[in-house]
Structure 1
Amino acid sequence: MKFIIKHDIRGRLRIHMVQSRMSYEEADTLLYYIENLSGVTSAKVFERTCDASISYKGDRETLLQALRIFQYQTTDVPADLLAHSGRELNSTYQEKLVQKVVLRAGSKLFLPYPIRAAYAAFKSLHYIWKGLRCLAGRKLEVEVLDATAIGVSVLRADFDTASSIMFLLGIGELLEEWTHKKSVDDLARSMSLNVSKVWLKKDDQEILVSSKDIKPGDEVIVRMGNVIPFDGIVCEGEATVNQASLTGESEPVRKDRGTYVYAGTVLEEGELTIQVKAISGSTRFEKIVTMIEDSEKLKSGVESKAESLADRLVPYTLGGTVLTWLLTRNVTKALAVLMVDFSCALKLAMPISVLSAIREAQSHHITVKGGKFLEAVSAADTIVFDKTGTLTKAKPTVVDVVAFDHHSKDELLRIAACLEEHFPHSMAKAVVLAAKNRQLDHEEMHSKVNYIVAHGISTSIDDHKVIIGSHHFVFEDEGCMIPEDQMEKFQNLPTEYSHLYMAIDNQLAAVICIEDPLRPEAADAVRALKAAGIRHVVMMTGDSERTAAAIAKRVGVDEYYAEVLPEDKANYIEKCKARGSKVIMVGDGINDSPALSAADAGVAISDGAEIAREIADITVAADDLYQLVILKNLSNLLMKRIHRNYRTIVGFNTGLIGLGVTGILQPTTSALLHNTSTLLISLNNMKPLLNEETDH
């Protein structure tokens, strides 16, 4: 596409797209394209001027060539991004703000006073009605203060003061609404833009495809532990589905043929084939917005405390106004007190602080589902780690397949991969990847796959029962035997690796040796967590005592437990909470779900099981345990900022009241300073916390 270079310095470029106008959708498409170019570090697109500003590293000519071949029509942009980019929201509120200021200035310049007075009197009815409605509901809130100030000014025939108060209130309301909506939309957008793969049922075969290739009418298969990707109708199977994220129901709901299921809910047990009815991401986006905005359970205690305090202070402001008038008999001084309330700043600044912290966490690839959980992390003194995929590397690797029957190693690995690919866990992914690297293609050759949580998988192939899983599952639960002539080989299995056991017809067929090395940063991350306020670090694993002891010593945990079941982890966390501890649980598998739910803050690794990510309160990327340190520090800094907000808001507004009572400030000046301070505090609360700490 044609463009003109308007400004060009090393590492920075400003271009003008040669087109008469640019729509919001075109601006978002161009921005998405530029941001995904190799070497681009940041970019902005201005739809009003058709300009784009680009910061980059590397070769300038390569960037220019990529811009020359850009076309709106051929750029594949996620539907959610175009539908909910926030660009139109910002433009709408900018226009509203300019319109309000222009109308105010124009009316003062060109309208005669009698018309302005009549309009002010008419407009005051809206605020007075809101105040009366609040009183009728037996509430003393900020609407009563506004109504009293405007009503008294109108009764005194001071229409200029009434008009100024209403103008400032209108500007304040507009800025508050804009700031809040922008924060919520930015956060919801960052949480909802995820593209995953799904199992498509086609001609009685299962094919793993990208979710964006799915069309209404297609049939997709969802198994235990996975998130349902689309709205649809169940056409085969039965299962229990956790719909808490959508409906708030605490108990899973039974789903079978003919029932409707919703995108974003979690299949806890069973298997479903779903005929897709809706593929749009808007439902998921709106659900996340609702979760952030309306769910009381996600509000932090400090947010609830701020709202409660704000409402409790209104009667004192009203009482102070009456007392000022009784002592001074000066209505202007009384109005100056009335114009200052603590409610606006407290009710706006606290949620903005939390939303900003959640958005900052997202920039570090940490997804937090509510302020409540940041507060829990800040207060936490105990952290419990699952070992596999958490303290150890997220991507374990297969190093050997030890055969115990007539099958070749490759054939045994192929069979194992065919089963494991249906149940995403770090160990399962290692098996599937090893088969892929050896180019061992496997068609679906088994019957229905049954997954037994924390144990293994059972199915049948050509009428032969095949199971794969832990030592406990294969030998104790299923009673499988080791071929007598292979006992010595079994006893000499390498001890430095984790073992996955596979049996066919109750006879051990293979042991897959998996290297699950400790993360290099694990010990340092544990030390950093202790420095940030964690007093007790615990490791829990299903591995043997010997393996657990070795890992625990290297990591530096205070306590460890080996050969534990899912319920053991959850029970331990409940005991800690009963002692008064605040607990963080970190895990990545289906078997970690009960513990993640039991903890004050459950943290899931992003490439673990989908049910773990959905149930968890917080999700962190899989590549670095230091993200847990960032999460803890961010939470600590958020609580500090909120307590600083309390001091600033109460101190500044108390000062305004004092200046109003002494007659130094007029009511309109008090209102202006009060609204300006509320806006500045809110804007300050949108600044990154971690950068602020670095500056200090």
Structure 2
Amino acid sequence: MKTWRTWGVVTVSGLLIILSWITGSDLLMIVAAVVAGWRIAVSAFRALRIRTISIDLLVVVAAVGALFINNYWESAAVTFLFALGGALEKATLNRTRRALSDLVDTAPETATVLRDGEPGTVAIRELVPGDVVLVRNGEQIPVDGRVVSGHGGVDEATITGESVPAEKTEDSEVFAGTWLRSGVLQVEAVGIGPDSTLAKIIHRVEDAQDDKARTQTFLETFSRYYTPGVMLAALVVGLLARNVELALTLLVIGCPGALVISIPVSIVAGIGRSARDGVLIKGGEYLETSAQVDTVVVDKTGTLTDGRPELTDVEVLDPNYTEDEVLTLAARAETASEHPLAEAIIHGAESRGLTVEMVGKAEPIAGQGIRARVDDRTVAVGSAALLREIPDASRTLELNGQGRTAMYVGVDGRAIGILAVADTIRVDAPAAIKALHDKGIRIIMATGDARRVAGNVAAELGVDEVHAELMPEDKLTIVRELQAAGHTVAMVGDGVNDTPALAQADIGVAMGAAGSPAAIETADIALMADRLPRLPHALGLARRTVGTMRVNIAVALLTVAVLLAGVLLGGVTMSLGMLVHEASVLLVIAIAMLLLRPTLREDETPDAHRAEARQAASV
């Protein structure tokens, strides 16, 4: 109905103008002006009631004035073109908001719930937390929840922007609005309807697209004074020149429509594009600020590194043993340990296809390691103090100097090998750091980890500056000092200890925010997928958006200047001025819509090579 009211007015007015040309009837031209102009007049009147002189008022005054001087064609043309421009503007703005409508369309409405072991279809609103829903291959997952049974590949593009389906097994987290592309899953409902991650994303994007950038707020304030100024100037020029038509033409030429629309349409397009790419930007103000970021402060553990220790080295000291035998003995001994490094050793052995059997007898030794009975042998894993024969320590010192934790593997008191464990650099971290550097952004590591470990990670990645062994308040101090020096700072972190610095930074960035409502609501930028390259992509998109805003402002101002010159020099009529004016409005919208083009390019490292990449990038 709304579409008919908008386009119906334009269509009827246009037909009346054509009939007027054919019949030569001035009455039809007047009716065409009234049909196209009455809604514009209503809008102008409503604005006046709240003491606002709108663009619509300029058009109404010009159109009515043209009728009084018997220039019926100009009156009809001005109102028709303004109505046509408004209709096209709405249509193109709706297209720029399609990112949000696509998200809304993905929200599921029904679910197959298992009750008493029998499946049944119910509306989403009928579900309660704890219900188990059945999702078959090709179906949409209706709730946020935890997989309790089954295995499958889930397309999470609507949430994280990831193009490759994520493998889901028991205890995996899944999100409403995503699609099961293979397998069958039974999911225990946790977040339903408005409590789901998808609903929170839609809410955040809605708010963000309506949020105003500082430039937009300034232009709106400017237009409140500009529009009355145009009316006053037209009146003065008309009186001085004694030319009513010139004054009316100036009213039309002075319409700041393209100027006013140039900013919001860019913001809507930029935030819509980022939402499709799995990046939530909180609003126009943060979009503008992100474009100015010249320094990124980043935590190490869990951000630049994987945040969990992994086996990096297996070295043989006794030629009677192979690497696999050394690792198997160590892993079996560690099955009796609760130390965090034990899991890394066991996982390292299993990833090589080795069989790791539990041991029955073991003796953890505080601060040194563990001894265990393995196949009638005493196997020790830890420091040299566990061994009778003291080996050459040069290699372990070398590994420790590289930021790795080195330990001996001994059999019956004699060292047979060395294992090293470390928190490894994320596979995507080098590409992210390079992309940030390519944008001229300085990168500072701020971590509570040991100086030696931090230094090795920084050297491997090419980080510009390192601050290690920090307390949370130290990170806050670093951000404040950078801001005091005139830098625009983005802070990236994933832990509670980063919260003060995240709050202080000009832009706080949360990584891997999918499934974290708090991160979605509080972060200035939320990277839904746990992928560091999304950060330079988000900052680059912000720069493109601000650049588009500036281009659009220039187009709008240049159009007004050229038309004004054309009026004063002669040759630009009221209808021609309105035509060019509406064309400029559509031009700035078209320029903004270029932001909707996909630009996300990520190196999807195949799973088969990820382990190799991690090993090569280990600290």
TM-score range relative to shorter protein:
0.5 to 0.7
Letter in 2 for 1:537: I
CA distance in 2, matches of 1:194, 1:515: 42
Task: List aligned pairs for 1:314-333, cutoff 5 A.
Answer: 314-333=227-246
The C-alpha deviation readout for 1:62-112, integer Å capped at 9, x for no partner, is xxxxxxxxxxxxxxxxxxxxxxxxxxx9xx85x777644532343335586
Residue in 1 that maps onto 2:577: 670
Shift of 1:369: 2.9
Task: List aligned pairs for 1:391-430, cutoff 5 A.
Answer: 391-393=304-306, 397=310, 409-410=334-335
Task: List aligned pairs for 1:529-568, cutoff 5 A.
Answer: 529-534=436-441, 536-568=442-474
Shift of 1:547: 0.7
Does structure 2 retain, via aligned residues, the 8 Å contact 1:584–1:603?
yes
CA distance in 2, matches of 1:153, 1:319: 18
- Aligned alpha-carbon RMSD (Å): 5.1
- Normalising by structure 2, we get a TM-score of 0.63
1:631 is aligned to 2:538: yes
Letter in 1 for 2:452: R
Does structure 1 retain, via aligned residues, the 8 Å contact 2:445–2:458?
yes
- Residue 389 of structure 1: SS of its match in structure 2? coil
Residue in 2 that maps onto 1:592: 498
Shift of 1:382: 1.5
1:649 is aligned to 2:556: yes
The C-alpha deviation readout for 1:488-545, integer Å capped at 9, x for no partner, is 955469846778xxxxxxxxxxxx98643224664565455344232x4210223222
1:167 is aligned to 2:76: no
Residue in 2 that maps onto 1:294: 210
CA distance in 1, matches of 2:125, 2:498: 30
CA distance in 2, matches of 1:213, 1:410: 45
Change (3 A) 1:166 1:597: same
Shift of 1:367: 3.4
CA distance in 1, matches of 2:521, 2:215: 25
CA distance in 2, matches of 1:147, 1:651: 24
CA distance in 1, matches of 2:65, 2:537: 52
Shifted more, 636-645 versus 357-366: the winner is 357-366
1:104 is aligned to 2:10: no
Letter in 2 for 1:134: A
CA distance in 1, matches of 2:216, 2:404: 46
Shift of 1:289: 4.8
Structure 1 portions without partners, runs of 5+: 1-88, 204-211, 222-228, 232-262, 265-272, 418-426, 440-479, 500-511
- Residue 547 of structure 2: SS of its match in structure 1? helix
CA distance in 2, matches of 1:183, 1:521: 31
The C-alpha deviation readout for 1:628-670, integer Å capped at 9, x for no partner, is 3333333333333322322221112111122223441221111
Task: List aligned pairs for 1:255-270, cutoff 5 A.
Answer: none
Letter in 2 for 1:216: L
- Residue 547 of structure 1: SS of its match in structure 2? helix
Residue in 2 that maps onto 1:53: none
- Residue 604 of structure 1: SS of its match in structure 2? strand
Shift of 1:617: 2.0
Does structure 1 retain, via aligned residues, the 8 Å contact 2:520–2:526?
yes
Shift of 1:383: 0.9
Shift of 1:330: 1.8
Shift of 1:675: 0.4
The C-alpha deviation readout for 1:287-316, integer Å capped at 9, x for no partner, is 235312433xxx322222332333332133
1:312 is aligned to 2:228: no
The C-alpha deviation readout for 1:418-453, integer Å capped at 9, x for no partner, is xxxxxxxxx99x9999999899xxxxxxxxxxxxxx
Shift of 1:686: 1.3
| Percent of residue pairs bearing the same amino acid type | 26
Letter in 1 for 2:17: K
Change (3 A) 1:134 1:566: same
Shift of 1:555: 2.3
More relative contact order, 1 or 2 (CA 8 Å, 6+ apart): 2
CA distance in 2, matches of 1:279, 1:525: 32
Change (3 A) 1:183 1:485: closer
Residue in 2 that maps onto 1:338: 251
Shift of 1:582: 0.9
1:216 is aligned to 2:127: yes
Change (3 A) 1:669 1:171: same
Does structure 2 retain, via aligned residues, the 8 Å contact 1:498–1:515?
yes
Shift of 1:317: 1.7
Residue in 2 that maps onto 1:516: 423
- Residue 516 of structure 1: SS of its match in structure 2? strand
Change (3 A) 1:412 1:113: farther
- Normalising by structure 1, we get a TM-score of 0.57
Asked which structure has the greater CA Rg, the reply is: 2
Shift of 1:136: 4.5
Does structure 1 retain, via aligned residues, the 8 Å contact 2:271–2:280?
yes
Change (3 A) 1:274 1:685: closer
Structure 2 portions without partners, runs of 5+: 117-122, 133-141, 145-175, 178-188, 314-326, 354-363, 372-379, 385-395, 406-418, 600-619
Letter in 1 for 2:13: R
The C-alpha deviation readout for 1:44-75, integer Å capped at 9, x for no partner, is xxxxxxxxxxxxxxxxxxxxxxxxxxxxxxxx
- Residue 234 of structure 2: SS of its match in structure 1? helix
Residue in 2 that maps onto 1:482: 366
The C-alpha deviation readout for 1:170-199, integer Å capped at 9, x for no partner, is 12222222222332342464599699xxxx
Change (3 A) 1:395 1:546: closer
1:142 is aligned to 2:55: yes
